[in-house]
Structure 1
């Protein structure tokens, strides 16, 4: 039986680490991202999409599911990894358009993707999971990260809500929310390049880089794969890569 992964933001950073881990484990992968990764295996089908244009997501998932045979599928996972910090600054300094686009990518696209995914495979008898990539910022406020913190907190609650809505389904979809930790990606570089006036705890993140304390995307990808495999994890769980 085939194992299938659909992932957003799979072309770089944490997403690329996840893709490599799942590919090694034999998954058929459909990667949705704003950019095309020329360096990945030809076995990965890539869709270059701007997920802030949420009206296009339903058709995109319809196209992907047309290629997947439920009779030959033993496991299917959706990982909502795409996300952005947006502009790092106090809320009063943010432009309305930046707020709108950050919410669209971090939250609205995830809501729509989860809804379409569940509807598309609800009747399938195989193992089904949604993994929403969260953040420690979902639980802890950071000066200058108001929109990011709010959207990641909403992602955690979404995972819990999907869990209770799926409880009585004959073939339930499990939902997990996973914070990957502080990972050595382009997002961390963006954080370190911000000003202390807009992000007061910047020194901590600079020190993490200087002290080689950032996690590697490959490690995070493998850890998320292991959580996906762990059938003892309860739907609606809020987890963290250790």
Structure 2
């Protein structure tokens, strides 16, 4: 059986990735704070299981993934993929005006949870002969400084370096596992709505992002998901350690 574990499946890109993999007969395990009834009720070749989890809670995150691993170890696995898509953009604010609790939750979801999950994941399948595929969803903000996105850019830059290092280790160890980054660029999501609701004193580029919406420059999440899903459905095309952007295709 083919399984994929995806974080952030309640809406947006995560939901689109999950649905398209299910359409391709992949069994999906979704992790998010909110359930996705459409996925749970979908009549598709692949099934959907949901684990309601707040990835800002590191202890809860670890417990959830230990349960998922225990479940998966009882399944006849043909392939196993992990897509770490969940992320926060808030707080959008200049340094010196931020809420410490928001900052903590931000770093937990965007960086610490992926690190903890990856550590558990690679340890759990260490003695397996099943090659793993792990993809972390990144952002162009990891490579440039944006006024008001100090937390977001920093957490994504940290995720990029972490992903590259894990890929290097897996290559050196000769595990056959593939770890890579996927950049979905700008999409029509609730996160974009959060960005557009910012004040210019918080986010200097807010007008540009409002124009993305009015000028219809935001890609549909289904279109973006297809770029990644096509890659995931043909693992031979994936290069360990690669940076794969939707802009390479669309």
Same topology, TM > 0.5: yes
Q: CA deviation at 1:123?
A: 2.4
Match of 1:100 in 2: 104
| The 10-residue stretch of structure 1 (120-129 or 185-194) with the greater mean CA deviation from structure 2 | 120-129
* 1:111 alignment partner in structure 2: 115
1:20 aligns with 2:19: yes
Q: In the alignment, is residue 139 of structure 1 matched against residue 143 of structure 2?
A: yes
Distance 1:159 1:227 in 2: 18
Relative to the length of structure 2, the TM-score reads 0.91
TM-score in terms of structure 1 length? 0.94
Residue among 66, 87, 112 paired with 1:62: 66
Aligned residue pairs: how many?
Answer: 241
Mapped partners of 1:101, 1:41: distance in 2: 27
Structure 2 residue ranges without an equivalent (≥5): 42-46
Separation (CA, whole Å) in 2 of partners of 1:91 and 1:53:
24
Once residues 4 and 169 of structure 1 are traced to their aligned partners in structure 2, the CA distance between those partners, rounded to angstroms, is 24
Question: Which residue number corresponds to residue 241 of structure 1?
Answer: 246
Task: Classify the secondary structure of the residue corresponding to 2:236.
Answer: coil
Q: 1:222 pairs with 223, 226, 230, which one?
A: 226
Alignment of 1:1-242 (within 5 A): 2-42=1-41, 43-69=47-73, 72-228=76-232, 229-242=234-247
In the TM superposition, residue 215 of structure 1 has moved relative to its aligned partner by 0.8
Flag the structure with more relative contact order, 1 or 2, with Cα contacts below 8 A and sequence separation at least 6: 1
Q: CA RMSD in A?
A: 1.5
How has the CA–CA distance of structure 1 residues 153 and 132 changed in structure 2, closer, same or farther, with 3 Å as cutoff? same
| Per-residue CA distance 1:10-46 (angstroms, 9 max, x = gap) | 1101111111111111111110001111221342100
Deviates more, 1:49-58 or 1:29-38: 49-58
Quick check: 2:178–2:238 contact (8 Å CA) kept in 1? no
- Secondary structure at 2:219 match in 1: coil
